[in-house]
Amino acid sequence: MNRIPTAAVRPAQAAAVFTSLALLAGCAGSIGGSGSDSDASAGEGFAHESSQDEIDEALADLDPITLKFQPSAMSEQSILAPNGLDVKKAIEERSGGKITVDIVWGQAIASYADVDDALADGRVDLAFTLPSYTPAEYPAFDALGTAMSTLPSSPVASDLAANAAGVQAAWETPEVLAEFDDKGLVPLIPMLAAGGYSTMCSEPMSSAKDWKGNQIRVGSAAAGKQVTDLGATPVSLSFPETYEALQRGTVDCDLGQLAPNVEAGTFEVAPNIGVAADAGIARSAGAITAGKEYSELPVAYQQVIFDSMSTTFSTMMEVVIGAKAMAVEQAKDNDGSVEPFDDDVQKQMATYANTLSDKTAEKAGVPDAPKTLNAAASDWQTSVTDLGFDDKGDFAELDEWYPEDVNYDELGDELFDKVMAEHRPE
């Protein structure tokens, strides 16, 4: 597996790396052309399984438009860049060139804190957003993200199943959809859970004794509660400061996704990865969301954009899981370790995850959300196995057995057909 050089990425740039998760800046203005006038949503659409000739015919009389898209990546050189580039390609090719996608790297128009407003007022047309950053505004969404901690964890199969289940459960929870609607937004993928969380520590941390008293940088209140339950001290620290804090010993570990840490060079100072197996940590999930002018587009254009969401899902999974393999490789290159948490830690983690999940769901007014998510995850685990995406080895050898050329298009297509198709614009 090709190793990404980490020396070029340092704390001064880490803010950008973090912002890219959690996945051409222009002036104000949005969807170009005359296709967004008051009658724009009228007109003929096309079936999802239509040939390109049939799609071209449906779009023949429509004026060209341009979309501003803020994906999760900071730049075209990022390992997360396919989250933007693949979607751009899918939309432009399916539209026969009638839709141009201008990618806005690095949240140059609006930060994650401001992107909802930018979508609502038309400065951005399509974006990766992080509703989990504002749980008070998205309590039902946050409940599903917290419930993710109750699902099994593995390097490949469980992450695929969890992400597909998150999409399904979000579509099946009216309260989640209402939270987007209240902000004037249109969810295209109402939840992208991305990768599971791991610990990255200066020294190995697998036993319950190891956790006691350690200072662990966390990215959410829910993760902080889980860390506290295990006897460690959660530290609220911005990601740009984490590398230096680990280097100086101000904190002992970072708790988060592996992908941003691959780019940040974290494994040079914290090369010991701890992974869950039976349960995990609440995730800071994202979503792909459209702005106010999406609903004013001709229905055929809406369909082109919506149909690209299967590509969005499969590409995100390829990037996130591929980054895990890179993380394992980088940990080993820095004389680190990759170890599962001990059984007693796993048991305590699972018990608290269930308690926290139920409490969060009750408080959000969606008490059935954990059950909805778990049922969907069970079904998608079967689908993942049927498609041949089982784990082929342990997490510690992921860099050795994970294929570089893997793609999850079949899973994205199945998710679209089984879950998303009924939400396709008509």
Percent of the chain topping pLDDT 70: 90
Q: What is the mean pLDDT of the chain?
A: 89
Which tens digit of pLDDT belongs to each residue from 88-105? 999 999 999 999 999 999
The radius of gyration of the chain from alpha carbons, rounded to an integer in Å, stands at 21
Which tens digit of pLDDT belongs to each residue from 161-204? 999 999 999 999 999 999 999 999 999 999 998 888 999 999 99
pLDDT score, position 31? 56
Residue 5 — pLDDT band, cuts 50, 70, 90? very low
Sign of the CA dihedral running 105, 111, 116, 117:
negative
Residue 256 bridge partners (DSSP): 198
DSSP sequence for 343-408: HHHHHHHHHHHHHHHHHHHHHHT-TTHHHHHHHHHHHHHHHHHHTT----S-GGGHHHHS-TT---
Is a pLDDT exceeding 60 seen at residue 268? Answer: yes
Give all domains of the chain, ordered by start, each with its CATH number.
14-199+279-423 (3.40.190.170)
Residue 280 — pLDDT band, cuts 50, 70, 90? confident
Distance CA 70, CA 84 (A): 8
**148 backbone dihedrals φ, ψ, rounded to 5°:** -55, -30
Q: Backbone dihedral region of 218: left (phi > 0), alpha (psi from -120 to 50 degrees) or beta?
A: beta
Q: Which of 143-152, 158-167, 275-284 has the weakest average pLDDT?
A: 275-284
C-alpha distances out from residue 45 to 55, 364, 408, Å: 8, 37, 27
Residue 140 — pLDDT band, cuts 50, 70, 90? very high
CA-angle at 18, arms to 217 and 157, nearest 5°: 85
Residue 117 — pLDDT band, cuts 50, 70, 90? very high
Query: Is 188 in a helix, a strand, or coil?
Result: strand
Query: What's the N-to-C CA distance of the chain in angstroms?
Result: 44
pLDDT score, position 12? 38
Strand ranges of the sheet holding 99-103, from the earlier edge strand across to the other edge? 99-103, 65-70, 126-129, 286-290, 186-192
Which tens digit of pLDDT belongs to each residue from 289-305? 999 889 899 999 999 99
For residues 424 and 9, which has the higher predicted lDDT (pLDDT)? 424
Q: What is the mean pLDDT of residues 266-282?
A: 90
Is a pLDDT exceeding 70 seen at residue 370? Answer: yes
pLDDT score, position 43? 63
pLDDT score, position 133? 85
Stated pTM of the model: 0.88
Is a pLDDT exceeding 80 seen at residue 24? Answer: no
**Structure tokens belonging to residue 67:** 């979309």
Residue pair 291/185 in contact by the 8 Å Cβ criterion: yes
Which tens digit of pLDDT belongs to each residue from 204-241? 999 999 999 999 999 778 889 999 999 999 998 877 89
Residue pair 155/403 in contact by the 8 Å Cβ criterion: no
Distance CA 52, CA 96 (A): 8
